Structure 1
Amino acid sequence: MESVAERVAELTGREVDSTTSLGASHEWHLHRAVLDDGRALFVKAVPSGRGSAHLTGVFRAEALGLDWLGRSFGSPVPEVVGWDTRTLVTSWVEQREPTPHAAASFGHQLAAMHLAGAETFGASWDGFIGPLPLDNTPAQEWPRFYAEQRLAPYLRKAADRGALTPGDVRLVEKVVDAVEELAGPPEAPARIHGDLWSGNVLWQDEGAVVIDPAAHGGHREADLAMLALFGLPYLDRVRDAYNEAAPLASGWRARIPLHQLHPLLVHVCLFGAAYRTTTLDAARAALHGGG
């Protein structure tokens, strides 16, 4: 049975001095590896003989997404060192304490990444958000893309697992049906992270590095709404700096619940009814313009 050190050596072409377990996330294990030249790396690996068949695309999606995000100016993502269907190796990121200065720098970084743009909404690769498939079929119009490829699939999955009642489903369906009215001014596809909760932000002295993307061409307000969902240190500084570099369209605050509805439905699918109330509150707020 191939060890993590052997996988990393094969993908990097270097000997591995040591590996340290960092626990697990979903169906993969996390490690810190140190190469024979002293370089530290971060490793995600599906244990040999374990993992669902559909997970063979997870690391491909993440590697392609990181590479794509990394082509934007000053992109705040780690380097992809190597990958295969069961392993992803990236550069190691030493975290720092968040500061107002770093938050402002991160706001500028995020704006630059978004402004790098995308050819369409969606992406040319099959996506994942955590272990769940994410439909990246390219689309030209955001409202229907969001309704049909970001809300409806996870609403069905949440209902199928019994985490939402028929009445809950009808409420969220009202948002799905009204997305064109709720979407705000048209936006060009932005180069977004797609799963930008605070745990995926690693602070640096200057800005931050973002990890674990569900990258695709999307609505730039989605990343900012996700940052607000579970709280981020100095979020106001991030948003103020973002607005300096790439002003948000009028009414963006009222649309935060609309953009939070997708990640909340994903959480219902993954973790069950614990997220039901928050999801329904977001749906009601979206229908009432954030109020």
Structure 2
Amino acid sequence: MWLNEENGSMLDGPFQGPMAFITDKKSNLWVGDSLNARVLAFDSKGRQGREYDLASAAKEAGLASDPLLVDLVPSINGKLLAADVSNNAILEIDARGGKARAFTSQPAGSTFHWSQINKIHSDGKGRIYVEDVALRQTVMLDKDGKPELVLPGQIGIAVAEDGRLALIAATEGEKQEWYVYTCEEPGKELVKLARLNAENPILWISLIGYDSQQKLHVVYDTELARHYITLDSDGLLLKKSTTVLHDPGYDVNRPDWLDKNGNIYTLQVRHPKLKILKLE
């Protein structure tokens, strides 16, 4: 993928350039290109396939402005969901050729209002989870965009196909400890799944997501390295990998992502191309 800046970098700010990357069950790569308001599909060998015009899809769905994509996730029945911060909406694209739909927030002050979309998720029932970084909550919609539930204080989550939900929380104090919490269904009580043990203080941490075997993948940085761990449904550590600290080259919402087989991908900008890397 070719970048516009002469030095291979992107302009400052969270919404520049290719912003979202996902890999589907068939190892196809989907790239949300924010600058050009489109979604590109590549096969497992890197050959470009389909291209979806987000501006046309937004117009078809009745949205007022051209979209500004910040996240992208697969849904059920060949659908793609794009988080559009320009219209504060979720844009549903039918990869099989059906009409695009848009799911918008309820008015400010209402129970199911969201103010600033950060990330979105979907489960095996097609339910949509809208993370609102401004109000620090997640709003859950059904597959047709009808609001069903608000999860106060729950952001930075991971959602499994069966609706299992996980998030990370830290203790207060000088010796900060990090824990993974989980619940079997959205809205149920969160229980402690695992404590994250690191030899050095954790500087940054994120849930990459669940794979098809319900294994949870976590990434975190210490001062000297980046660490990837895999936990089973009981919180047992299945795998740990350590790499050098990695700078993707520009500000991107999800620097790491996961396919359903548990393979982890990341990206790196090296002028004049954007490179996709796979963790071995």
Q: What is the TM-score when the length of structure 2 is the normalising length?
A: 0.27
More helix per residue = 1
* Higher normalized strand content (fraction of residues): 2
Higher RCO structure, 1 or 2 (CA under 8 Å, sep 6+): 1
Report the structure number with the largest CA radius of gyration: 1
